[in-house]
């Protein structure tokens, strides 16, 4: 390491380089399924294949936040023996309720109104984080190298612009961007193919979509923010296998979203709330809407007397079929929720994430077998667009645009009819467009009144600091702020002036604050609180916030989520 005499910039040492057949970014359901399938295929042919998986969390599962009711089609196709192999997937769904909430009451929507694809009969209630930990152990048994605490920070290219791998982040860089005493240069991991499985709004995925113009022929991606708490409830309140979803209160009819509540394990209840990020009112506070929702008479009795043991938040993709970008580029491919394979009306994405991992692995293995490297895995794109993922997503592709256009009450009825039509007819109804991206849906604060949310009672409803404590989130403080503002003037000059700076409210971790100092506002970023949900990167009306990976291992340390 030395100083360049002319520029004054620090010259960093060369990165050490490691060579693999396949490099995978992200140890979620998609990335781990790809890794497992590659090893299975190689073993089946008595061959070796080197596979590495990078994970930014301190361990596989540490950054996974999901519901989760899972469709076992994903597990069945990647590890068909999962039932005998000790997968933490035990609780069958026994009862499936759908409620429309008003301020004081609720209406049960009978299941026969929904097409069979919405049924949870064959599904299981799990902690997806635990399932991911188990998948990681299976991958390691097969010889996959998993590097937790090593974020993929930079995409590497050859001279022709083809992706050759990724570099992990440097360790020991101070807040001023200068190397500290304990500085360790990141590694360059080169692969014949690099698979990006970063989940919703992946930071490298976002770059790739821009660089290769992958979304040129797709509708804008749509998102929701999902907030979740894990509760240990009183035994008499626990109904193992109960799945309950709601729409309606406390959200207005024009604000999309809803809740989930899943009973499983030892008196455990996963309770969560999703707000669609195309909301218009800049005063909306998704975390406080979630807290208010828990006080509803159809919800509160389950939690009363219980103990909240977990909290977290994560964005989810909602654009569906019409928002899926081109999936391949020279040297790599997009997998899982990074590509947007979430089925929104089913609130399920983990099965498609696993299926996409399997399909990408099959295409990469076939290419490597044929002596290819660094080209496009077109067989993967073809398999996604004609196989089970397409079948799952095409039938429900109009649900989200219908809800956005007609509001929750009428939209639910109309989208139900559209899903029925697409189930019983051999011809699909025309595909509806989403229109504008979520950040462009926000309207000026002058058209709204601030919302008066009730104060938390510390029993059923809580504040953000006590919630963050349960997420275990932590970041080394002396490191560059990983929430990078393209223009530091925008939050106060534009966002505060026009939208009352909505980042203060949509961030579920109080990372963004506007503080009065000497009679003038100051914008503060408490980066150490960040939950890696990516909402700011999506919803900032000026698209001025770029979420980048912090130093490895930073972020939430979820358990049982």
* Binding residues for ligand FAD restricted to 322-381, rule: CB under 6 A: 336-338, 342, 347-351, 353
Q: DSSP class of residue 373?
A: -
CB under 5 to 8 A by kind: which of ligand SF4, ligand FAD, none does 54 bind? ligand FAD
* Binding residues for ligand SF4 restricted to 408-467, rule: CB under 6 A: none
Sheet holding 268-276, edge to edge: 106-108, 95-101, 242-248, 257-264, 268-276, 223-232, 307-317
CB under 5 to 8 A by kind: which of ligand FAD, ligand SF4, none does 342 bind? ligand FAD
CB closer to ligand SF4, 284 vs 511:
511
Pick the piece of the chain touching ligand FAD (CB under 6 A) from 6-14, 68-76, 87-95, 112-120.
68-76
The only residue of 24, 41, 42, 54 in contact with ligand FAD, by rule CB under 6 A:
54
> Do residues 41 and 99 make contact, with C-beta atoms less than 8 angstroms apart?
no
CB under 5 to 8 A by kind: which of ligand SF4, ligand FAD, none does 276 bind? none
Pick the piece of the chain touching ligand SF4 (CB under 6 A) from 348-356, 387-395, 462-470, 505-513.
505-513
Measure the CA–CA gap between 192 and 188, rounded to whole angstroms. 13
The only residue of 138, 534, 551, 561 in contact with ligand SF4, by rule CB under 6 A:
534
Q: DSSP class of residue 491?
A: I
Measure the CA–CA gap between 489 and 493, rounded to whole angstroms. 6
CB of 44 to ligand FAD, least distance (A): 24
Q: How many CB atoms lie within 10 A of CB 306?
A: 18
Examine residue 316 and tell whether it contacts ligand FAD (CB under 6 A). Answer: yes
Pick the piece of the chain touching ligand FAD (CB under 6 A) from 192-200, 414-422, 431-439, 485-493.
192-200
> Do residues 327 and 355 make contact, with C-beta atoms less than 8 angstroms apart?
no
Q: How many distinct helices (H) and strands (E) make up the chain?
A: 17, 26
Pick the piece of the chain touching ligand FAD (CB under 6 A) from 57-65, 361-369, 386-394, 478-486.
57-65
- In 407-531, where does DSSP find H-type helix? 408-424, 464-471, 490, 497-499, 503-506
Instruction: Go through the chain and tell me how many residues it has.
Output: 561
| Torsion of the alpha carbons at 62, 345, 228 and 280, rounded to the nearest 10 | 110
Examine residue 397 and tell whether it contacts ligand SF4 (CB under 6 A). Answer: no
CB under 5 to 8 A by kind: which of ligand SF4, ligand FAD, none does 173 bind? none
- Pairing, β 545-547 against β 483-485: antiparallel
CB of 11 to ligand FAD, least distance (A): 25
The CA distances from residue 212 to 115, 206, 216, 333, in Å, are 38, 10, 9, 11
* Binding residues for ligand FAD restricted to 23-42, rule: CB under 6 A: 25-31
List the beta strands (DSSP E) in 321-437. 328-329, 332-334
Measure the CA–CA gap between 156 and 346, rounded to whole angstroms. 37
CB of 3 to ligand FAD, least distance (A): 30
Could you list the residues that contact ligand FAD (CB under 6 A)? 25-31, 54-57, 63-70, 128, 151-152, 197-199, 202-204, 226, 228, 272, 314, 316, 336-338, 342, 347-351, 353, 549
Could you list the residues that contact ligand SF4 (CB under 6 A)? 483, 507-509, 511, 530-536, 547
């Amino acid at each position: 390491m030395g100083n360049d005499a002319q520029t004054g910039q620090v010259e960093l040492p060369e990165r050490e380089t490691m060579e693999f057949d396949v490099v995978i970014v992200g140890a979620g359901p998609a990335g781990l399924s790809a890794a497992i399938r590659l090893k299975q295929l190689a073993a089946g042919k008595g061959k070796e294949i080197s596979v590495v998986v990078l994970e930014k969390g301190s361990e596989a599962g540490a950054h996974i936040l999901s519901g989760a009711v899972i469709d076992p089609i994903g597990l069945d196709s990647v590890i068909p023996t999962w039932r005998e192999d000790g997968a933490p997937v035990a609780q069958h769904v026994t009862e499936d309720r759908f409620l429309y909430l008003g301020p004081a009451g609720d209406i049960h929507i009978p299941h026969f109104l929904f097409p069979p694809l919405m049924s949870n009969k064959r599904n299981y209630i799990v902690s997806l984080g635990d399932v991911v930990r188990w998948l990681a152990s299976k991958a390691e048994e097969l010889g996959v190298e998993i590097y937790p605490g090593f974020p993929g920070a930079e995409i590497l290219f050859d001279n022709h612009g083809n992706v050759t791998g990724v570099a992990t982040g440097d360790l020991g860089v101070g807040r001023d961007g200068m190397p500290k005493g304990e500085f360790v240069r990141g590694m360059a991991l080169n692969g014949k193919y690099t698979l990006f499985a970063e989940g919703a709004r992946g930071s490298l995925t976002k770059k790739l979509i821009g660089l290769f113009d992958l979304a040129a022929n797709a509708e804008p991606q749509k998102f929701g923010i999902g907030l979740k708490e894990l509760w240990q409830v009183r035994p008499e309140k626990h109904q193992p296998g109960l799945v309950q979803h709601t729409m309606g209160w406390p959200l207005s009819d024009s604000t999309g979203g809803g809740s989930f509540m899943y009973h499983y394990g030892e008196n455990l209840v996963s309770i969560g709330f999703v707000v669609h990020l195309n909301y218009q009112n800049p005063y909306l506070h998704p975390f406080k809407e979630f807290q208010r929702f828990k006080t509803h008479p159809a919800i509160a009795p389950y939690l009363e007397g219980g103990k909240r043991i977990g909290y977290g938040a994560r964005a989810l993709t909602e654009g569906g079929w019409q928002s899926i970008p081109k999936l391949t580029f020279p040297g790599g491919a997009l997998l899982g929720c990074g590509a947007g394979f979430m089925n929104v009306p089913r609130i399920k994405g983990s099965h498609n994430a696993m299926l996409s991992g399997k399909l990408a692995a099959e295409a990469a293995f076939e290419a490597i077998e044929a002596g290819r490297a660094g080209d496009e895995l077109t067989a993967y794109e073809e398999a996604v667009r004609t196989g089970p993922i397409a079948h799952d997503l095409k039938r429900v592709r109009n649900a989200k645009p219908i809800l956005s256009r007609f509001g929750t009450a009428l939209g639910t009825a109309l989208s139900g009819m559209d899903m029925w039509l697409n189930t019983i007819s051999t011809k699909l109804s025309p595909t509806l467009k989403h229109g504008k991206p979520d950040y462009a849906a926000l309207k000026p604060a002058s058209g709204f009144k601030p919302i008066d949310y009730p104060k938390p009672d510390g029993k059923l409803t809580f504040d953000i600091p006590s919630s963050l404590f349960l997420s275990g989130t932590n970041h080394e403080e002396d490191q560059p702020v990983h929430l990078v503002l393209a223009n530091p003037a925008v939050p106060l000059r534009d966002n505060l002036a026009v939208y009352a700076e909505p980042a203060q409210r949509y961030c579920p971790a109080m990372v963004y604050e506007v503080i009065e100092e000497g009679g003038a506002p100051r914008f503060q970023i408490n980066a150490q609180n960040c939950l890696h949900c990516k909402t700011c990167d999506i919803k900032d009306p000026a698209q001025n916030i770029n979420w980048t990976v912090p130093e490895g291992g930073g972020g939430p340390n979820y358990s049982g989520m």
